[in-house]
């Protein structure tokens, strides 16, 4: 005999889920069987009631339902998530203002919480957290079954408070512990410098609400210092992406015409095409864009748009390959659903998803005065993420570094030194900005721009 106490809960839940699912199935799929949907929902309801009534410890139906939804979404792809109120609020903070935290970009790789890259100038960066570090504990909590938003929530907090991060690093026998003091993580996204007179260096670290405004001011300042500017290095390395609207407007800033990106949903239907408009200010200086496998999402849109429209030469190593579009739907009681609705395509029609942007010129990153190997192999790509949406072709030939080696050397010390070169821009330290040219990729970009200037002058003089 069924308990009267639990029967109303089960009946209400069953009716609610059935109405929702059948309505959704009818409007979206059309031919999906209502009977089959209803039967599966009854099975779900039976399991819920059985666990709630007879499990060895008391459990709340609300918690069970939340976990069931999380499991359903988690198995879709690594970028979809069911967000409770605190996580939804944190997602909104990511695109505006500031927040307290340690400053790392994380993702899931082989179901392990993995560092994609530390953010320049942050506590994690200064402490020596590195790309590909696997976070196994936050304080005393294991990350084994932790959702991304849960880890982010635990690492964020009031500036001045501490959090203990335990990581496993390849090549290091024992786990490493980092006690980090949280700080205010500014969301300023554009920095600039003049490494050589006449040539600008523009570093975009992410795509936030004010990125295009910051970029416009930075270009104006570079033009004032070097005007007319002879060439620009646009650094999108380790840029994890951000707002689609800002990727489009940044691309539009440098383009006077042409497509920027297209978005296609289910069954390859084209949902929307973003196109460049004619700018009031003509920017006719040549551009070299720097990318690596830490360049993702919005960064890949910008690189692909400038590359396909022949507005810039793209230099570096293959990008991350995050070419999927997520939408966030607010739900009742402060919850939200973040899920994938489409994929990005470059102006030439190439898919970014799990493919990445292939540079026009492959140049491994290294210190010109201290070593000969590349370090880009330490980065995580979209294709490494569990449940990632498949690309067209995931068979790639090995990248070859300038010395002809097929496998770049994993040189963490070199990576740390290279990251700190950009402190001259990030922290405005006292070094000459020309120190940036010790980075082989920045140096090669400068050489290309300088060569373009010299060759242009040669052809003009010999007409």
Catalytic residues: 297, 308, 322
Q: Measure the CA–CA gap between 90 and 334, rounded to whole angstroms.
A: 12
Contact yes or no for 389/340 (Cβ under 8 A)? yes
Which phi-psi region, left, alpha or beta, contains residue 332 (left: φ > 0; alpha: ψ -120 to 50)?
beta
Strands in 317-451 per DSSP E: 324-330, 336-345, 361-362
- CA-based radius of gyration for the chain: 25
Contact yes or no for 251/243 (Cβ under 8 A)? no
Phi, psi of 197 (to 5 degrees): -55, 125
Q: Measure the CA–CA gap between 117 and 114, rounded to whole angstroms.
A: 9
Q: Which residues pair with 344 in a beta bridge?
A: 263
Contact yes or no for 287/209 (Cβ under 8 A)? no
Contact yes or no for 196/230 (Cβ under 8 A)? no
- Beta-carbon contacts of 374 under 8 Å, excluding residues fewer than 6 positions away, are 317, 364, 365, 366, 401, 405, 408, 409
Using CB atoms within 10 Å of the CB of residue 395, give its burial: 0 to 12 exposed, 13 to 18 middle, 19+ buried. exposed
């Amino acid at each position: 005999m069924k308990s009267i106490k639990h029967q109303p809960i089960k009946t209400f839940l069953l009716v609610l889920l059935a109405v929702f699912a059948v309505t959704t199935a009818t409007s979206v799929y059309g031919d999906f069987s209502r009977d089959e949907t209803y039967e599966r929902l009854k099975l779900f309801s039976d399991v819920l009631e059985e666990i709630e009534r007879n499990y060895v410890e008391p459990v709340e139906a609300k918690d069970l339902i939340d976990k069931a939804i999380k499991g359903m979404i988690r198995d879709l792809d690594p970028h979809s998530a069911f967000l409770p109120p605190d996580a939804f609020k944190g997602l909104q903070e990511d695109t505006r203002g500031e927040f307290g935290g340690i400053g790392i970009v994380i993702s899931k790789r082989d179901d392990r919480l993995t560092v994609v890259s530390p953010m320049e100038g942050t506590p994690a960066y200064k402490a020596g957290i590195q790309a590909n570090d696997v976070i196994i504990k936050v304080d005393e909590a294991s990350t084994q079954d932790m959702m991304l938003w849960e880890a982010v929530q635990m690492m964020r907090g009031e500036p001045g408070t501490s959090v203990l991060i335990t990581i496993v690093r390849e090549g290091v026998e024992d786990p490493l512990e980092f006690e980090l003091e949280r700080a205010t993580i500014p969301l300023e996204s554009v920095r600039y410098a003049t490494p050589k007179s006449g040539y600008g260096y523009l570093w975009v670290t992410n795509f936030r609400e004010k990125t295009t405004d910051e970029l416009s001011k930075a270009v104006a300042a570079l033009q004032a210092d070097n005007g007319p500017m002879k060439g620009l290095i646009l650094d999108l390395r380790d840029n994890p992406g951000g707002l689609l609207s800002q990727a489009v407007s940044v691309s539009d800033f440098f383009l006077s015409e042409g497509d920027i990106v297209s978005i296609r949903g289910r069954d390859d239907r084209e949902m929307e095409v973003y196109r460049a408009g004619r700018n009031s200010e003509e920017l006719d200086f040549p551009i070299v864009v720097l990318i690596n496998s830490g360049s993702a999402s919005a960064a890949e849109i910008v690189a692909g748009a400038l590359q396909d429209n022949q507005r810039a030469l793209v230099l570096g190593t293959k990008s991350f390959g995050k070419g999927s579009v997520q939408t966030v739907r607010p739900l009742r009681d402060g919850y939200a659903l973040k899920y994938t609705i489409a994929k990005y395509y470059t102006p030439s029609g190439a898919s970014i998803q799990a493919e990445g942007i292939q540079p026009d010129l492959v140049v491994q990153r290294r210190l010109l005065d201290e070593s000969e190997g590349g370090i880009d192999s330490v980065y995580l790509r979209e294709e490494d993420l569990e449940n990632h949406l498949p690309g067209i072709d995931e068979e790639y030939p090995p990248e070859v570094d300038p010395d002809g080696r097929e496998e770049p050397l994993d040189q963490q010390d070199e990576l740390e030194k290279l990251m700190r070169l950009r402190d001259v821009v990030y922290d405005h330290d006292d070094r000459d900005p020309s120190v940036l040219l010790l980075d082989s990729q920045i140096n090669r970009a400068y050489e290309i721009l300088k060569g373009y200037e010299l060759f242009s002058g040669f052809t003009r003089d010999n007409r």
